[in-house]
Amino acid sequence: MKYQKNAGLESTIKYLNSLNYYQLSRWLALFEGVNLIAEAADDKKLHFKTINIKPAALLKYVDGTCDKICERLTDKQD
């Protein structure tokens, strides 16, 4: 099998293109939530790995943010 330099990137792009707006919104909300945690850790000069991430709180953030992101994505398409 020949090595493909961008094989991971190509499969990621293919996967992202297969998502509907709601699924993409949930991934983006999760990404945003983790970035907010990382920023807070950075502000407190803590290493990200030392932060105790609470899955229930992160899920609540994703649930609360997902619809807003989905709305913004669909507005851009109209």
Domain that holds residue 28: 20-77
| pLDDT tens-digit series, residues 23-32 | 999 999 999 9
DSSP string, 34-78: HHHHHHHHHHTT--GGGS---HHHHHHHHHHHHHHHHHHHHHHH-
| pLDDT tens-digit series, residues 12-67 | 888 889 999 999 999 999 999 999 998 988 898 998 788 888 999 999 999 999 99
- The answer as to whether 15 is a domain residue is no
Q: What's the pTM?
A: 0.77
Domain count, the chain: 1
- The answer as to whether 1 is a domain residue is no
